[in-house]
Amino acid sequence: MSSDENNLGTCPVDRGLMRVGDRWSMLVLRDIERGLTRYEQLRTSLGIAPNILSRRLSALVETGLIEKKRYSQRPPRDEYLLTDAGRDFLPILMAIGAWGRKYNGAGTLSRHLDAATGKAVRPVVVDANTGAPIGSRPLHLEIPG
Amino acid sequence: MSSDENNLGTCPVDRGLMRVGDRWSMLVLRDIERGLTRYEQLRTSLGIAPNILSRRLSALVETGLIEKKRYSQRPPRDEYLLTDAGRDFLPILMAIGAWGRKYNGAGTLSRHLDAATGKAVRPVVVDANTGAPIGSRPLHLEIPG
DNA sequence: GGCAGTCACTATCATTTTGCAAGCGACTCG
DNA sequence: CGAGTCGCTTGCAAAATGATAGTGACTGCC
């Protein structure tokens, strides 16, 4: 693990990846956002083994990205919903999607359209201070002493 | 795997994660951006086992995110540099970092400062069309038929 | 020239994680 | 009652990961 108390422990990227740093977790979040909130829906959509899905879901619940909510008593049925933390992660998935489209996007892919304008969303990471895309201005890394 | 020919194959997120969908790959990219471009630097910084690092590096080279470049003949020394694809992924790491800081950011963490203004960068994912943060406007998912 | 030391790995093996397949309990519907 | 669905769990095989040791190419220093 890199979660020692060295300089890596001070890296926010590391902190983020501690909670969602695997493929399945991210794909689960993506699918929940799509409206696939139930176990069986997720399993068939992802093509994931049931034990793995169970484990991922409990891990995501435990780390507070999703929550399990009973929406029917009889029959007992639960659905998995995004928490604030989970919802906040979605833009990152969009950014990953934009990157995947650019560099691994052969064929037709699904995309998000702005509901108002109907235009395809083009996710870009910018600095909220300047509005400039990350990478367009020189940065400096500050490491706490 | 979820890379079947169903609707998931059309998902750009999936496409992106196929190439960098694991913790170590992302941390390697982060470290290379920090200037840790040599094998030994990466190994000690990450605290990763050498065989694992080798495999990750070759995988990243193979998928075109980094390239191995000889910078000294005698002694023979290589460094790993980001390709365009790799550099394009960095903003996503910044966004993950911002998320990690927000939801798992106890203690003091490293951060990026804008070299010109000196202010801490605040990465946000926006729609390049509208400039609005993703999540602030209703979207609609379009899946190719 | 010989020897310690660094760098960039590879090889071997234990441990952990992932994945497949089968099964199970609760319930509904006919 | 019997078949079917949903949401899992259990067992076991396969694959990935990780710890440790070792190796080859070279440098730099007596």
DSSP per-residue string spanning A21-90:
-BHHHHHHHHHHHTT--SHHHHHHHHT--HHHHHHHHHHHHHTTSEEEEEEETTTTEEEEEE-HHHHHHH
Phi, psi angle pair for A107, to nearest 5°: 85, 180
How many CB contacts within 8 angstroms connect chain A with chain B? 290
- In this complex, the answer to whether residue B106 has its CB under 7 A from any atom of chain C, a nucleic strand, is no
As a whole number, mean pLDDT of residues B50-75 equals 93
Q: Which residues contact B121 (CB under 8 A, 6 or more apart)?
A: A127, A129, A134, A139, B94, B111, B112, B113, B114
Cβ of A125 within 8 Å of Cβ of B130? The answer is no
E strand or H helix at B73, and its extent? none
User: Which nucleotide's C1' atom has the smallest distance to the CA of A50?
Assistant: D8
Q: What residues of A are in contact with residue B2 (Cβ under 8 Å)? A: 27, 46-48
Residue A137 CA to chain centroid, in angstroms? 26
Separation of CA A116 and C1' C21 in angstroms? Answer: 47
Rounded Cα distance, A29 and A27, in Å? 5
Domain ranges of chain A: 3-87
Q: Which of residues 74-93 of B touch strand C (CB under 7 A)?
A: 77-79
Separation of CA B20 and C1' D25 in angstroms? Answer: 32
Cβ of B104 within 8 Å of Cβ of A128? The answer is no
pLDDT in tens, A97-113: 999 999 987 788 999 99
As a whole number, mean pLDDT of residues B73-96 equals 94
Q: What residues of A are in contact with residue B41 (Cβ under 8 Å)? A: none
- Give buried/exposed letters for A37-52 (b at 16+ CB in 10 A, else e): bebebbbebbebeeee
Cβ of A113 within 8 Å of Cβ of B48? The answer is no
pLDDT in tens, A75-90: 888 999 999 999 999 9
pLDDT confidence bin for A72, thresholds 50/70/90? confident
Name which CATH class applies to B3-87: mainly alpha
Rounded Cα distance, A134 and B90, in Å? 8
Question: Residue A6 above 50 pLDDT?
Answer: no
Separation of CA B124 and C1' C4 in angstroms? Answer: 52
Q: Which residue of B has its CA nearest to A121?
A: B127
Cβ of A142 within 8 Å of Cβ of B88? The answer is no
Rounded Cα distance, B56 and B51, in Å? 9
Query: Shortest Cα distance from A127 to chain B (angstroms)?
Result: 5
Using DSSP, state whether B123 is helix, strand or coil.
Answer: strand
Q: Which residues contact A77 (CB under 8 A, 6 or more apart)?
A: A38, A70, A71
Cβ of A139 within 8 Å of Cβ of B131? The answer is no
As a whole number, mean pLDDT of residues B60-77 equals 90
Question: Residue A9 above 80 pLDDT?
Answer: no
| C-alpha gyration radius of chain B | 18
CB B4 within 8 A of CB B38: no
Question: Residue B5 above 60 pLDDT?
Answer: no
Please state, for a pLDDT cut of 90, what percent of chain B lies above it.
81
Rounded Cα distance, A87 and B136, in Å? 11
